[in-house]
Amino acid sequence: MNNVYSNIFKPIIPKQFDENEIYTIAITILVLGVLYFLLKRESQLSAVEVSSIYLFNLFITTTLESLFAEHPLDFYDTLDYAHAEIFDVVLQTLVYPPPIIIALYFYSKYKPNWLIYTLFWALLLTCLELVSLQFNLFQFKSWSSIYSFIFYVFTMVVNIIFFRRVRRIIRLA
């Protein structure tokens, strides 16, 4: 019986609990803490907007992470394996969506020029990814930070469009 559990869990648990798992836990606490603080402090986004943005970005990160990090593209690995592990689930569900919600929180509050704002957030997210590289969260193969920047520009544009549409639908309801 113990062998059955070992066969199930061995491929998805980290090889060893080291800097990338500690970093994953730390950034999870940080982004969720910032998001909680902002949403409790001042209501810029409705619960429907937050939920919609969260689910939309969960879909984006899950599908595109699989596309980019797995066969046949295989541009990079995350954490300890060339395949997904349990901490990838933490990253995809608890770390990746909140920064976009935070970005849209400030977008809603300050109504900046969308192009400059998009470029700012793409640069910020790329810089945060560069920090993550120092903790072996990613191991680039045929991927580079310039691709990340382009991807984050695309992600921010799509999210701003999505947010505007969700807000419009909510106001019409």
pLDDT tens readout for residues 34-75: 999 999 998 899 999 999 999 999 999 999 988 898 888 989
Q: Mean pLDDT over residues 102-118, rounded?
A: 97
Task: Tell me which residue range forms the domain holding 18.
Answer: 2-172
Q: Quick one: pLDDT band at residue 81, thresholds 50, 70, 90?
A: low
pLDDT of residue 1: 56
pLDDT of residue 84: 72
- Give the H or E element holding residue 78: strand 76-78
Q: Quick one: pLDDT band at residue 2, thresholds 50, 70, 90?
A: low
Q: Mean pLDDT over residues 89-112, rounded?
A: 95
pLDDT of residue 71: 85
Cα–Cα distance measured from residue 92 to residue 100, given in angstroms and rounded to the nearest whole number: 12
Does 160 have pLDDT greater than 70? yes
125 compared with 1, residue with greater pLDDT: 125
Do the beta carbons of residue 120 and residue 128 sit within 8 Å? no
Q: How many domains does the chain have?
A: 1
What phi and psi values does residue 133 have, to the nearest 5 degrees? -60, -30
- Alpha helices (H) along 42-144: 47-69, 86-90, 97-110, 114-134
pLDDT of residue 14: 78
Q: Quick one: pLDDT band at residue 15, thresholds 50, 70, 90?
A: confident
